[in-house]
């Protein structure tokens, strides 16, 4: 029977030893299951049935002892340990004893708070020293370092707020999926007591995640305020030049890393993902070319190159914005799409059930959409810096032309003007530039 095969899979799967032993009475259960039929009698069972079905069958037949908090059946949907079990059954090299970062954060949130606190203290100290030594060259470098750290901090806090508010409703699945990996779990309790403990955890996560999302939003706004303050101290021209330069260098590194990732994937096995790999390679090359054009425009103070760079960054921003919208809009349709195209999907992910593939697809689309909006926020600042650089370059050209016209009028020109007489047109240009500088 399917339950018999599930027991055999759990007993004989060498990658599941740590998974089985992590449950109450796991060693005793493993010894009892070792007497069942060996896996070699059903070598293709996992491919045809799927890992989730195996977990479900194991949960039904091994409810006592191994799954005291089992929630599979007609009245629930998440078997305890389903996340670890599914990963172990679907991926032979998966380390079942590894602790995901989400579980580590839940078990020890204070360690994460200490890391964030140290980063904030370091950032604040950098800004304080930079302000105190603003007139020294070291102070200006420290101020820009503070500006960069606040910029990165704003992106991180924005990402945190998005994740908190986006995955708030996934608390139940996370708690039951990793229940016995949580440090606060008392496995010796009765099933009813453990259900109550799990419900308490879910309520606590809902409150904490909501508060964390709101706090991250306020931290993001505070970081943007600090960016404006640092810009006011450093000066408009220096901020624009250094921000644009740093963004271009970051774009070169990002594009190169993305390109190497695409090349590495192509060198391995494409598995029908030629279009995705090609799009990633084209995107990475475009980012590197755009960044190179921006750096060249800064070095040569070329208005044309700066305009090309700014237009390209603006185009990337618009494209990523629409990609993010599509990802969020299509995430709710993942189940319907997987069900419709299951014949093709099953060829690639036959070891996983339709429900598991749909859930993973929905999570990945949500994460991709959030990542797109974070990149949009960062590219918007890059585009604004590019626009400011274009305006500054155009202003310097006009000022240079005005000074040339003024110098020509101060001499004995062809028009016979007297020395010291400033041309009316040059005077208007210089006066307009002075007004712009005051603004």
Q: Of 273, 376, 388, 266, which is closest to residue 318 (Cα–Cα)?
A: 376
Give dist(CA 159, CA 154) in Å, integer. Answer: 9
Overall average pLDDT of the 100-118 stretch = 73
Is pLDDT above 80 for 386?
A: yes
More confident residue, 3 or 378: 378
Overall average pLDDT of the 82-104 stretch = 46
Is pLDDT above 70 for 163?
A: yes
Summarised one tens digit per residue, pLDDT across range 184-209 is: 666 566 666 767 777 787 788 888 88
Summarised one tens digit per residue, pLDDT across range 339-365 is: 777 777 766 665 556 666 777 777 778
Over pLDDT 90: what percentage of the chain?
6
Summarised one tens digit per residue, pLDDT across range 301-314 is: 888 888 999 999 99
Is pLDDT above 60 for 169?
A: yes
Overall average pLDDT of the 370-376 stretch = 84
352 C-beta neighbours (distance < 10 Å), count: 23
- Is 15 exposed, middle or buried, given 0-12, 13-18 or 19+ CB atoms closer than 10 A? middle
Q: Provide DSSP, 34-79.
A: TTS--GGGSTTHHHHH-HHHHHHHHHHHTTTTT-TT---STT----
Q: Provide DSSP, 82-102.
A: HHHHHHHHH-TT--TT---HH
CB–CB of 209/171 below 8 Å?
yes
Is pLDDT above 80 for 244?
A: yes
CB–CB of 85/72 below 8 Å?
no
Which parts of 66-199 are beta strand (E)? none
Straight-line distance from the first to the last Cα atom of the chain, in angstroms, rounded to the nearest whole number: 81
Predicted pLDDT of residue 86 = 41
Overall average pLDDT of the 371-376 stretch = 84
Q: Of 211, 296, 204, 300, which is closest to residue 249 (Cα–Cα)?
A: 296
Overall average pLDDT of the 325-334 stretch = 80
CB–CB of 5/45 below 8 Å?
yes
Predicted pLDDT of residue 312 = 92
Domain ranges of the chain: 2-90, 101-234, 236-391, 396-438
Q: What is the pTM of this model?
A: 0.60
Give dist(CA 431, CA 100) in Å, integer. Answer: 63
Predicted pLDDT of residue 380 = 86
Predicted pLDDT of residue 315 = 92
**What does each C-alpha distance from 400 to 132, 404, 406, 433 come to in angstroms?**
35, 6, 10, 11
Summarised one tens digit per residue, pLDDT across range 263-285 is: 777 666 656 567 777 888 888 89
Predicted pLDDT of residue 73 = 38
Which residue carries 């990475």 as its tokens?
Answer: 284
406 C-beta neighbours (distance < 10 Å), count: 16
Q: Which two tokens stand for residue 135?
A: 């007139």
Q: In terms of C-beta distances under 8 Å and separation of at least 24 residues, what long-range contacts does 281-286 make, across chains too?
A: 283/258, 284/254, 284/255, 284/256, 284/257, 284/258, 284/259, 285/255, 285/259, 286/255, 286/312, 286/316
Predicted pLDDT of residue 102 = 61
More confident residue, 241 or 129: 129
CB–CB of 375/320 below 8 Å?
yes
Is pLDDT above 60 for 143?
A: yes
Summarised one tens digit per residue, pLDDT across range 392-406 is: 888 877 777 777 777
Predicted pLDDT of residue 39 = 36
More confident residue, 368 or 97: 368
In this structure, what are the phi and psi dihedrals at residue 66, rounded to the nearest 5 degrees?
-80, -40
What's the chain's average pLDDT?
69
Is pLDDT above 60 for 35?
A: no
Is pLDDT above 60 for 85?
A: no
Summarised one tens digit per residue, pLDDT across range 111-141 is: 778 888 899 999 999 988 988 887 777 888 8
Q: Of 238, 259, 243, 255, which is closest to residue 292 (Cα–Cα)?
A: 255
Give dist(CA 359, CA 204) in Å, integer. Answer: 24
Overall average pLDDT of the 279-299 stretch = 88
Is pLDDT above 50 for 3?
A: no
Give the residue ranges of DSSP H helices in 268-300. 274-300
- pLDDT tier, 377 (very low <50, low <70, confident <90, very high otherwise): confident
């Amino acid at each position: 029977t399917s339950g018999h095969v599930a027991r055999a899979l759990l007993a004989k799967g060498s990658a599941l030893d740590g998974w089985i032993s992590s449950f109450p009475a796991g060693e005793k259960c493993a010894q009892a299951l070792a007497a069942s039929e060996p896996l070699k009698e059903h070598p293709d069972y996992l491919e045809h049935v799927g890992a989730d079905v195996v977990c479900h069958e194991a949960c039904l037949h091994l409810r006592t002892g191994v799954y005291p908090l089992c929630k599979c059946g007609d009245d629930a949907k998440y078997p305890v340990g389903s996340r670890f079990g599914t990963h172990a059954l679907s991926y032979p090299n998966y380390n079942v004893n590894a602790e995901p970062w989400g579980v580590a954060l839940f078990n020890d949130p204070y360690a994460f708070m200490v890391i964030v606190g140290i980063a904030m203290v370091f950032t604040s100290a950098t800004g304080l020293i930079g302000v105190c030594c603003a007139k020294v060259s070291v102070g200006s470098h420290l101020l820009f370092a503070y500006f960069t750290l606040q910029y990165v901090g704003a992106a991180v806090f924005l990402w945190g707020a998005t994740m908190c508010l986006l995955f708030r409703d996934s608390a139940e699945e996370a708690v039951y999926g990793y229940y016995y990996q949580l440090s606060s779990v008392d496995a010796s309790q009765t099933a009813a007591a453990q259900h109550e403990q799990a419900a308490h955890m879910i309520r606590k996560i809902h409150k904490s995640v909501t508060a964390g999302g709101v706090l991250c939003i306020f931290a993001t706004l505070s970081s943007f305020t600090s960016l404006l303050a640092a810009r006011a101290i450093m000066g408009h021209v220096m901020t624009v030049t250094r921000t644009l330069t740093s963004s271009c260098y970051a774009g070169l590194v990002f594009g190169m890393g993305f390109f190497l990732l695409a090349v590495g994937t192509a060198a391995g096995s494409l598995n029908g993902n030629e279009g995705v790999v090609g799009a990633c390679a084209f995107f990475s090359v475009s980012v590197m070319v755009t960044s190179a054009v921006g750096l060249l425009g800064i070095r040569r103070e070329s208005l044309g190159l700066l305009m090309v760079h700014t237009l390209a960054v603006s185009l990337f921003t618009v494209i990523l914005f629409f990609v993010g919208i599509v990802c969020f809009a299509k995430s709710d349709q993942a189940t319907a799409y997987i069900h419709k195209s299951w014949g093709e999907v099953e060829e690639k992910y036959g070891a996983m059930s339709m429900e598991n593939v749909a859930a993973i697809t929905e999570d990945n689309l949500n994460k991709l959409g959030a990542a797109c909006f974070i990149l949009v926020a960062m590219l918007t600042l890059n585009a604004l810096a590019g626009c400011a650089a274009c305006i500054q370059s155009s202003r310097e050209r006009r000022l240079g032309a005005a000074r040339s016209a003024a110098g020509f009028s101060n001499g004995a020109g062809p028009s016979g003007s007297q020395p010291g007489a400033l041309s009316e047109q040059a005077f208007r240009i210089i006066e307009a530039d002075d007004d712009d500088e005051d603004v």
